[in-house]
């Protein structure tokens, strides 16, 4: 799988990130000597001369500003750039983890896990429509409606998705079903992988959740079962199409 070159985080990017991070956390101007010492605490060994050259480039790009002989501070633009750098760094880290996970999970293995989940979660949704309390239904609906406007990052969406499926399993009132689903769903790395794949394929993850919630809250077991089945089937389709694009399957 080839990673987008825009997301690649080079060694210089990493050094620049930590220099800017240290400047951001500093109470005042900071110089190359102190930066060199502080970088060592993160196992980053960089000489003062190189840091000085990087700082001058940062000045040129309006990321930092020199304050006499005291050192440098980040500009407002530098703080915005640091946030962008943090996002790029996270995506690069996630991309590397994604590669490692894909090396250990074939398409067939993921499909089999999702097929089992489909069988169990259909029943979970059906039972939730029958057994959930009114308070649980209100909380479930409010949680999904609130999440539609608030969720942005992959990790936030992953947390919401886990919570969503967990709540429905709880409402089923079937302990064996719930514990089995917990075992299948709560692998953090695998769950993040599925969320990332669905986003890469342009899926509207929360739209599926709304359909399931409406059916459960309407207390129509058959509709809840169907909505959950369709939801998991879209996940299976996204995974299949993703692996095809990455030439993991024929």
pLDDT tens-digit profile of 171-191? Answer: 999 998 988 888 777 665 677
User: 3-state secondary structure string, the chain?
Assistant: CCCCHHHCCCHHHHHHHHHHHHHHHCCCCECHHHHHHHHHCCCCCCCHHHHHHHHHHHHHCCCEEEECCCEEEECHHHHHHHHHHHHHHHHHHHHHHHHHHHHHCCHHHHHHHHHHHHHHHHHHHHHHHHHCCHHHHHHHHHHHHHHHHHCCCHHHHHHHHHHHHHHHHHHHCCHHHHHHHHHHHCCHHHHHHHHHHHHHCCCCHHHHHHHHHHHHHCCCHHHHHHHHHHHHHHHHHHHHHHHHHCCCCC
Distance CA 132, CA 219 (A): 9
Beta bridge partners, 73, equal: 65
pLDDT at 150 (0 to 100): 61
160 CB-contact burial (10 Å; exposed 0-12 / middle 13-18 / buried 19+):
buried
Distance CA 222, CA 116 (A): 19
Calculate helix-pair angle for 76-104, 11-25, nearest 10 degrees: 130
Delineate the domains of the chain, giving CATH numbers in brackets: 5-91 (1.10.10.10), 105-245 (1.20.120.530)
Do the beta carbons of residue 24 and residue 74 sit within 8 Å? yes
* Tens of pLDDT, residues 99-130: 555 556 677 878 888 998 999 999 999 999 99
Calculate helix-pair angle for 76-104, 188-200, nearest 10 degrees: 110
The reported pTM is 0.59
**Blockwise average pLDDT, block size 10, the chain, 250 residues:** 52 90 94 94 92 95 94 95 85 60 68 90 97 95 79 73 92 91 74 81 82 96 96 92 70
Do the beta carbons of residue 29 and residue 71 sit within 8 Å? yes
Phi/psi for 37 (5° steps) reads: -70, -45
pLDDT at 6 (0 to 100): 47
Cα first-last separation, the chain: 15
pLDDT at 141 (0 to 100): 92
Distance CA 24, CA 31 (A): 13
68 CB-contact burial (10 Å; exposed 0-12 / middle 13-18 / buried 19+):
exposed
pLDDT at 20 (0 to 100): 95
């Amino acid at each position: 799988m080839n990673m987008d070159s825009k997301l690649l985080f080079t060694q210089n990017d990493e050094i620049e990130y930590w220099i800017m991070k240290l400047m951001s956390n500093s109470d005042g101007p900071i110089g190359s000597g102190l930066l060199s010492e502080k970088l060592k605490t993160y196992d980053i060994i960089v000489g003062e001369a190189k840091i000085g050259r990087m700082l001058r480039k940062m000045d040129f790009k309006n990321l930092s500003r020199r304050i006499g002989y005291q050192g440098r501070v980040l500009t407002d633009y530098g703080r915005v750039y640091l946030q962008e750098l943090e996002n790029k760094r996270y995506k690069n880290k996630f991309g590397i983890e994604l590669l490692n996970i894909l090396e250990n999970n074939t398409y067939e293995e993921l499909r089999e896990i999702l097929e089992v989940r489909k069988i169990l979660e259909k029943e979970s949704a059906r039972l939730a429509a029958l057994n959930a309390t009114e308070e649980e239904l209100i909380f479930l609906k409010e949680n999904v409606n609130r999440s539609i406007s608030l969720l942005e990052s992959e990790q936030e969406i992953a947390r919401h998705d886990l919570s969503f499926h967990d709540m429905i399993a709880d409402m089923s009132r079937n302990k064996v079903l719930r514990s089995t689903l917990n075992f299948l769903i709560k692998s953090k790395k695998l769950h993040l992988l599925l969320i990332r794949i669905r986003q890469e394929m342009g899926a509207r993850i929360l739209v599926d959740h709304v359909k399931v919630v409406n059916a459960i809250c309407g207390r129509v077991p058959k509709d809840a079962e169907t909505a959950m089945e369709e939801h998991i089937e879209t996940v299976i389709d996204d995974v299949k199409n993703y692996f095809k694009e990455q030439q993991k399957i024929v």
